[in-house]
Amino acid sequence: MMEKENMIKTKRIQDCVCGIIGAALFEQPLPSVREEDWPAIYHEFISQRIIANPANLLDKFSIPDECRKMWDSSIRNTELFTLKLLVNQSILVRLLDNHSIPYAILKGSSSAIYYPEPVHRSMGDVDLIVRPGDFERVEQLMLSAGFVKTNDNHRHANFVYNHISFELHRVFSHELGGNFLDRLVFNQLEYTRKVSVCGFSFSMLSSVANGIVMIEHISHHLQGGVGLRHMIDWFMYVKKELTDEKWPAFRSISDQLGLTTLSKAITRLGQLYFGLDSSILW
């Protein structure tokens, strides 16, 4: 009996989490939430690193005072860290721009740009990629500017600057698509676009290339478990960018990487459980 009750509660918590995300990001109705469920819901948002996503609608819920205080504090911490990361990312961006070095910021702020409130997208580190011929030059520029190198592997070199982690990528691919995916990313460095998040500008890949990077990242995390943050990044990208009209251009690449089925499956999950636009037919 106890096991059954726990399963029922877990399902109820999951439904509430999906409902809150849908209300926050996809204009869905507010879900009904039991007062005793809020601590478990808060914990789920924390563990999935999506704690600030519903910041603008929490006042519409009757949340126990202790839980609300913890949630408000967590949101402020998320906002402060996001802004701190963007400030330090801009230092590197200026360094690269001043030396006319093509680059692209991957994930992170290149995902946040699709959110209604980019500052509420939890950040981890700064991922950037440059052309292979520029890698050593950029590495030396970063070292000269005070970035401290902490690690190096076949994919990227790790640096720390003002307690923010940076990954300077040699390649982006993990194993899927390998050379094809990396050639795509390197070629797109000639066609990056300048965008701005919270007043901080940077260069990112084209719409299609950025989407391919995002879905490949999800594919990689299938091995250890895809988090809601990965999925929500994808949902927001689809909402803003991947219309039925743009789908053929995306699919021409995703087919070659074996990512088309995954792209469809994750998108359908968004439609069924989170409120992603059901008029997307691809």
Q: Mind listing the pLDDT tens digit for each residue in 116-154? A: 999 999 999 999 999 999 999 999 999 999 999 999 998
Euclidean distance between CA atoms 62 and 99, whole angstroms: 53
Phi/psi at 106 (5° precision): -105, 145
Task: Output the pLDDT for position 54.
Answer: 96
Q: How far is CA 100 from the centre of its chain?
A: 27
Question: 266 or 172: whose pLDDT is higher?
Answer: 266
Taken in order 44, 47, 48, 51, the sign of the CA dihedral is positive
Amino acid at 222: L
Contact 87, 51 (CB under 8 A): no
Cα-flanking dihedrals φ and ψ of residue 165, to 5°?
-90, 140
Torsion 196-197-201-204 (CA) sign: negative
Q: Identify residue 36 by its one-letter amino acid code.
A: E
pLDDT at 9: 86
- Closest listed residue to residue 279, CA positions, set 249, 251, 245: 245
In the predicted model, is pLDDT for residue 211 greater than 60? yes
Question: Quick check: helix, strand or coil at residue 166?
Answer: strand
Q: Would the pLDDT of 176 be above 60?
A: no
Say how far apart CA 108 and CA 44 lie, in whole Å.
Answer: 21
- What is d(CA 139, CA 159) in angstroms, rounded to the nearest whole number? 9
